[in-house]
Amino acid sequence: MEFNKVFLAGNLTRDPELRMAGQSSVVTLGIASNRTFRRTGSQESEKETTFVDVDVWGRQADTCNQYLSKGSGVLIEGRLKLDQWQDKDGNNRNKLKVVAERVNFFPRSGSGAGGGNFDRGESFGNTGDSNQGSGGFPQGETFNDEVPF
């Protein structure tokens, strides 16, 4: 079985870095994602930040480059990729990064949306199903929120 899927929410640590790879645009986003937790037996919460580089390709890269900047909030859906290379000294190097399949933009703080309102972000990406509506659910279908038991 193969399954390689990542969901990552955070803020850009720097402005997007646009470059060309052949005929396709590629933008690299630096994302900081925070996690708050409590250690066993402690009442104090602690914060841990993870920094991740994300590559975005094609039209989606152009859109990210146009609308995102340092501090922008994003939700990334993508896959992990291991880059491997040799540095100038001949040492083998590797870096784990995310290749984005979909990028959702969070509203800016001053837009009146309030922090953490993920439902109002714009979404850019190819879902592969043109019959899907907002939130990835098929258009025209209603969903019952009743518990089935």
Check if the beta carbon of residue 124 is closer than 8 Å to that of residue 63. Answer: yes
User: What's 43's DSSP letter?
Assistant: -
Q: What is the pLDDT of residue 134?
A: 40
For residue 42, what pLDDT is reported? Answer: 85
From first to last of its 149 residues, the chain has per-residue pLDDT tens of 889 999 999 999 999 999 999 999 999 999 999 999 888 888 889 999 999 999 999 999 999 999 999 999 999 999 999 999 999 999 999 999 999 999 999 987 655 443 333 333 444 554 444 343 444 444 444 444 455 54
pLDDT (0 to 100) of residue 110: 56
Q: Which CATH architecture has domain 6-136?
A: Beta Barrel (2.40)
**Per-residue confidence (pLDDT) for residue 41, from 0 to 100:** 86
Query: In terms of C-beta density within 10 A (0-12 exposed, 13-18 middle, 19 or more buried), how is residue 2 classed?
Result: exposed
Residue 45 to residues 36, 41, 115, 120, Cα–Cα distance (Å):
6, 11, 20, 28
> Could you tell me how many residues make up the chain?
149
pLDDT of res. 147: 52
Domain boundaries, the chain: 6-136
